[in-house]
Structure 1
Amino acid sequence: MTASDTSVGVVIPTRGDRAEWLREAVRGVLDQEHVRDVVVVADGVDALAVADQVDGLPVRVLPNRLSPGLPGARNTGIAACATGLVAFCDDDDVWLPGKLAAQVAAMDAGAWFASCGIEVEYGGRVVPRTAGTATVTAADLVRSRMVMVHSSTFLFRRGAIWVDESAPGGQNEDWDLALRAAKRRPIACADRPLVRVRWGGSHYAGRWADRIAGLEWMLTRHPELADDPRGAARVYGQLAFAHAALRRRRAAARWAARTIAARPAEPRAPLALAVATGLLPASVVLSLLHHRGHGI
Structure 2
Amino acid sequence: MSLAESVAVELVPVEVTGVSVIIPTKDRPELLARAVRAVLAQEFDGPIECIVVFDQEQTHLPEVPTGPGRTLRVLRNERTPGLAGTRNTGYLRASHTIVAACDDDDEWLPGKLTAQLDLLDRYPQASLVATGIVIHFSGRDIPRQAQDEVLTFRDFLRDRRMEVHPSTYLARRSAVVDGFGLVEEEIPGGYAEDYDWLLRAAKTGPVVCVRDPLVRVNWHNGSFFTSRWEMIDQALTWLLRRFPEFAGERRGLGRVQGQLAFANAALGKRRKALGLAARALRNHPTNRQALASLLVTSHLVTPDQVIGLGRRFGRGV
Aligned-partner residue type, residue 48 of structure 2 = R
The correspondence of residues 281-296 of structure 1 with structure 2, limited to 5 A, is: 281-296=302-317
Which sits farther off after the overlay, 247-256 or 233-242?
A: 247-256
Task: Answer yes or no: is 1:3 the counterpart of 2:14.
Answer: yes
Instruction: Say which SS state the counterpart of residue 279 (structure 2) adopts.
Output: helix
Aligned-partner residue type, residue 3 of structure 1 = V
Choose which of 154, 157, 182 in structure 2 pairs with 1:142: 157
1 CA distance for matches of 2:269 and 2:137? Answer: 28
Instruction: Say which SS state the counterpart of residue 293 (structure 1) adopts.
Output: coil
User: Is this contact kept in 2: 1:92–1:201, CA < 8 A?
Assistant: no
Taking structure 1 as the reference length, the TM-score comes to 0.93
Flag the 1:132–1:6 CA change in 2: closer, same or farther, 3 A.
farther
User: Is this contact kept in 2: 1:25–1:95, CA < 8 A?
Assistant: yes
Runs of 4+ in 1 over 3 A off after TM superposition: none
Task: Answer yes or no: is 1:40 the counterpart of 2:52.
Answer: yes
Task: Answer yes or no: is 1:80 the counterpart of 2:90.
Answer: no
The correspondence of residues 107-122 of structure 1 with structure 2, limited to 5 A, is: 107-109=120-122, 110=124, 111-122=126-137
The aligned counterpart of 2:4 is none
Aligned-partner residue type, residue 253 of structure 1 = L
Choose which of 141, 145, 166 in structure 2 pairs with 1:126: 141
The aligned counterpart of 1:66 is 79
Residue 130 of structure 1 deviates from its aligned partner by 2.2
The aligned counterpart of 2:188 is 168
User: Is this contact kept in 1: 2:56–2:78, CA < 8 A?
Assistant: no
Task: Answer yes or no: is 1:98 the counterpart of 2:106.
Answer: no
Instruction: Say which SS state the counterpart of residue 47 (structure 1) adopts.
Output: coil
The aligned counterpart of 2:250 is 229
1 CA distance for matches of 2:18 and 2:100? Answer: 10
Aligned-partner residue type, residue 132 of structure 1 = Q
Per-residue Cα deviation, 1:205-224 (whole angstroms, up to 9, x for no partner): 55212211221121011111
The correspondence of residues 241-252 of structure 1 with structure 2, limited to 5 A, is: 241-252=262-273
1 CA distance for matches of 2:127 and 2:256? Answer: 28
Task: Answer yes or no: is 1:15 the counterpart of 2:26.
Answer: yes
Residue 270 of structure 1 deviates from its aligned partner by 2.2
Choose which of 151, 174, 182 in structure 1 pairs with 2:166: 151
User: Is this contact kept in 1: 2:33–2:63, CA < 8 A?
Assistant: no
2 CA distance for matches of 1:201 and 1:4? Answer: 42
User: Is this contact kept in 2: 1:6–1:104, CA < 8 A?
Assistant: no
The aligned counterpart of 1:217 is 238
The correspondence of residues 203-214 of structure 1 with structure 2, limited to 5 A, is: 206=225, 207-214=228-235
User: Is this contact kept in 1: 2:36–2:64, CA < 8 A?
Assistant: no
The aligned counterpart of 1:266 is 287
User: Is this contact kept in 1: 2:33–2:64, CA < 8 A?
Assistant: no
Instruction: Say which SS state the counterpart of residue 90 (structure 1) adopts.
Output: coil
Residue 35 of structure 1 deviates from its aligned partner by 4.8
2 CA distance for matches of 1:238 and 1:179? Answer: 18
Residue 201 of structure 1 deviates from its aligned partner by 6.8
Residue 57 of structure 1 deviates from its aligned partner by 4.1
Per-residue Cα deviation, 1:168-222 (whole angstroms, up to 9, x for no partner): 11111111111111111111110110001112178x9552122112211210111
Instruction: Say which SS state the counterpart of residue 115 (structure 1) adopts.
Output: strand
Aligned-partner residue type, residue 44 of structure 1 = Q
Residue 295 of structure 1 deviates from its aligned partner by 0.9
Which sits farther off after the overlay, 139-148 or 30-39?
A: 30-39
Choose which of 58, 63, 79 in structure 2 pairs with 1:55: 63
Residue 28 of structure 1 deviates from its aligned partner by 0.7
Which sits farther off after the overlay, 266-275 or 151-160?
A: 266-275
The aligned counterpart of 1:257 is 278
Instruction: Indicate the percent of aligned positions where both proteins have the same amino acid.
Output: 43
Flag the 1:118–1:4 CA change in 2: closer, same or farther, 3 A.
same
1 CA distance for matches of 2:48 and 2:293? Answer: 46
Residue 99 of structure 1 deviates from its aligned partner by 0.4
User: Is this contact kept in 1: 2:187–2:193, CA < 8 A?
Assistant: yes
Structure 2: unaligned runs, 5 residues or longer? 1-12, 67-71, 177-181
